[in-house]
Amino acid sequence: MHYLDNAATTRVADEVIEVITDTLRKHYANASALYTPAADSENLLEDSRAAVASALGCAPGEVLFTASGSEGNNIALWGAAFARRNWAKDIVVTGYEHASLTRPCEQLGALGYTVKVVKPTAEGRVTPQMLADAVGPHTALVAAIHVNNETGALLDAAELVKLVKAKNARTAVHIDGVQAFMKIPVDVRRLGVDSYTVVGHKIHAPKGIGALYLRKGYHIEPPYLGGKQEQGLRPGTENLAYAAGFAKAVELLRPTLAARYEKAKALNAGLREQLAARDGFVLNSPALEYCSPYILNFSIPGLRSETVLHYLELKKQVYVSSASACGKGAASHTLQAMGLAAARIDGALRVSFCADTQQEDLDALLEGLDEAAAKLARAKRK
């Protein structure tokens, strides 16, 4: 099996599974209760929060646990918009955001906000200046993805914050860091962002746990109503076992961040070279210097990505994706925002790496692509 869809989700690490299992057995008391077993649960929850906060470069009190990256983005977006509704009427967002930002923006637009969408260039980039140029005196929020989940395009978040705050100090800046956390260096204090979303299942923790950084002193209004858990911003009994598992995944990955980055960069560069040497193959990701090395998007115009995807699975046990997993097979909105031709969008594939990815996985991919291109092209001519 050659699993190359790590941007969709990753295999849960064995050590993480052990921590989760142990926590479910030993720490079943509700962390909000007032007896000794509950205090033990609360201590573990806060230790887990501290581990995630340390990896983000912030204080534990600036981190709240969520159920997913989508939930974190929704809390940040709705909370910022509600808190600024008395003076703000605009929201600025890139044209290739994850659906957990684009769909709330659509709803806020229906409620009277003006949503300014900054589309990427044909090369797949959105620069900080492009976003800052859309900021005005009534801009409540700028929301942008740190690493695009389909192409890997990288945003200079620190430069974005600098430019936005210089233009309007009251404008909030939220960054979706789901594809960046524990893959590229992230220090939210140095970035200067007001809020930042991360998630567990992209870094070998389970689905169902994430975290949201909220800068100390930064105010949002709670989009949910309920108990006082997670500073009253994300009510509901905390998922202690998964929070502990998330913290364990962070602990495992932190010491190897630089080495893993260099490995992914080498694999990405090699695959780019191999694809560029093949007739009819075209890269959709920006140049590697403007990308996270963990994602590479390319097309085989004239061949449907879904057809190639299934060929790779059946013949080579190679698993890639055609777009974001959240799109359920729909055409890539990122490539559409880039203004690419329909045939190129229809033939797009995304390959995404993790620390487990080996050259043999990419060799199997290339072998499968060559076979698929040849066989499917012959079938098409008949």
> Tokens at residue 171, please?
């404008």
Q: What span, in angstroms and rounded, lies between the C-alpha atoms of 168 and 166?
A: 6
pLDDT (0 to 100) of residue 377 = 66
Q: 212 with 72: CB under 8 angstroms?
A: yes
Beta-carbon count within 10 A of 212 CB? 27
Half-sphere exposure at residue 43, Cβ-oriented, CA atoms within 13 angstroms: 8
Domain spans of the chain?
Answer: 2-9+257-381, 14-254
375/135 Cα distance (integer angstroms): 51
The one-letter code for the residue type at 159 is E
Residue 27 has what pLDDT? Answer: 92
What pLDDT does 303 receive? Answer: 87
- pLDDT tens digits, residue range 208-219? 999 999 999 999
Beta bridge partners of 298: 283, 349
pLDDT in tens, 250-283: 999 999 999 999 999 999 999 999 999 998 899 9
pLDDT recorded at residue 118: 95
Q: How far is CA 339 from CA 119, 122, 334, 342, in A?
A: 9, 6, 9, 9
Return the CATH superfamily for domain 2-9+257-381: Aspartate Aminotransferase, domain 1 (3.90.1150.10)
Distance, in Å, from the CA atom of 54 to the CA atom of 186, rounded to the nearest integer, reads 11
This prediction's pTM: 0.94
DSSP for 334-373 reads HHHHTT--HHHHHTEEEEE--TT--HHHHHHHHHHHHHHH
Give the pLDDT of residue 272: 97
CA distances from residue 88 to 85, 108, 140, 168, 248 in whole angstroms, order as listed? 5, 12, 5, 11, 40
Class of domain 14-254 as given by CATH: alpha beta
For 59, other C-beta atoms within 10 Å of its C-beta total 15
Query: Which residue among the candidates 58, 105, 291, 326 is catalytic per the annotation?
Result: 326
pLDDT given at position 181: 98
- At residue 325, the pLDDT reads 47
| Residue 326 falls in the annotated catalytic set | yes
pLDDT at 93: 96
Q: Can you list the residues of the chain whose pLDDT is less than 70?
A: 323-330, 377-382
The pLDDT of residue 249: 98
197: which strand partners?
A: 176, 212
